[in-house]
Amino acid sequence: EAQVTQNPRYLITVTGKKLTVTCSQNMNHEYMSWYRQDPGLGLRQIYYSMNVEVTDKGDVPEGYKVSRKEKRNFPLILESPSPNQTSLYFCASKPGHFTGANVLTFGAGSRLTVL
């Protein structure tokens, strides 16, 4: 089944404790992206990647890092989490070239709480 898999789905952590949210897709998509969802703000893009070793900032990149060493994986790294990073996170992917059906496929989401 074509899908985007995120882990963990739920995490409670403490301020300053480094964490990584993994994201993996099995569709051979070039483009991958991370969003965070907050009440009243909708979804905002954190980082995106057009292909392996190519990443760029989205609208709210502060406090986050990403890497794209393999095409299928796009982990989100919080080096020193703070309470304002408590949020619902979504990873998504799509083909890098326009196919006429380019729609982002979203993961199920990762709910992160930073105490």
Partner 1 sequence: AQSVTQPDIHITVSEGASLELRCNYSYGATPYLFWYVQSPGQGLQLLLKYFSGDTLVQGIKGFEAEFKRSQSSFNLRKPSVHWSDAAEYFCAGEGPGTASKLTFGTGTRLQVTL
The binding site for partner 1 (CB under 8 A) comprises 31, 33, 35, 40-45, 48, 50, 58, 90, 92, 95-98, 100, 102-104, 106-109
Using alpha carbons, list the distances in angstroms from residue 22 to 45, 58, 95, 98, 109. 16, 18, 19, 26, 11
Nearer to partner 1, 7 or 106 (CB): 106
CB of 54 to partner 1, least distance (A): 10
Cβ of residue 8: shortest distance to partner 1, in angstroms? Answer: 15
Decide whether 38 or 79 has the Cβ nearer to partner 1.
Answer: 38
Structure tokens belonging to residue 8: 């963990």
Pairing type for strands 31-38 and 54-57 reads unpaired
Residue 59 Cβ vs partner 1, minimum distance, rounded to whole Å? 8
Q: For residue 104, which phi and psi values (nearest 5 degrees)?
A: -65, 130
In the complex, least distance from residue 18 CB atom to partner 1, rounded to whole angstroms: 26
Cα separation, 61 vs 74, whole angstroms: 15
Contact (Cβ atoms closer than 8 angstroms) between residue 53 and residue 68:
yes
Give the nearer residue to partner 1 in terms of CB position, either 45 or 86. Answer: 45
For partner 1, the closer CB: 81 or 107:
107
